[in-house]
Amino acid sequence: MNSQKGYYFLASPFKGTKEEKKYRYALSKKIAATFLEHHISLFAPILYNEALIDFFPKIQLEDRCKLLMPMNTDFLCQSRGMVLLKIEGWNTSSGLQHYFDICQKNHIPIYDLFPEDLEAQIINLAKTLPQ
């Protein structure tokens, strides 16, 4: 169990087709649950943001991003590190580029996570994350 307080920030691309968003949401949910099983706190903005978006039905997608990004950035800056989910779109995402810049400026560690064999990767990552 973690002896230090804090959480990790799960960064993943958000924009895409309805199917891509559904896949990314489900994958992020699975990752968050798996981290929790290993007693590691993880904040996944895609899960939190999706819950809030319903309250802003008249706001366009770009304006929703402008509304939510400052909050997500605050969470990232207070985290123990960013877990980067390297799924399709990660290298072209403007949101992820913003998160990269924040991590570099604030010396926030970045941990890569690939969609293949998630359980084994999370177990290995759990062993290497600062406790």
Decide: pTM greater than 0.85: yes
β-sheet bridge partners, residue 103: none
Convert the pLDDT of each residue in 37-61 to its tens digit.
Answer: 888 999 999 998 888 777 877 777 6
Is 3 inside a domain boundary? no
Is 112 inside a domain boundary? yes
Is 2 inside a domain boundary? no
Is 68 inside a domain boundary? yes
Mean pLDDT along residues 51-80: 85
- Asked whether 82 and 109 are in contact (CB, 8 A), the reply is yes
Is 60 inside a domain boundary? yes
Convert the pLDDT of each residue in 23-43 to its tens digit.
Answer: 999 999 999 998 998 889 999
pLDDT of residue 65: 76
Is 67 inside a domain boundary? yes
Q: What domain count does the chain have?
A: 1
Give the model's confidence band at 4: pLDDT under 50 very low, under 70 low, under 90 confident, else very high.
Answer: low
Is 1 inside a domain boundary? no
In CATH, what number is assigned to the domain containing residue 12?
A: 3.40.50.10400
Instruction: Examine the pLDDT at 73 and tell me if it is beyond 60.
Output: yes
Q: Which domain holds residue 40?
A: 8-128
d(Cα 57, Cα 70) in Å, to the nearest integer? 19
Going by C-alpha positions, the residue among 54, 53, 59, 97 that lies closest to residue 76 is 97
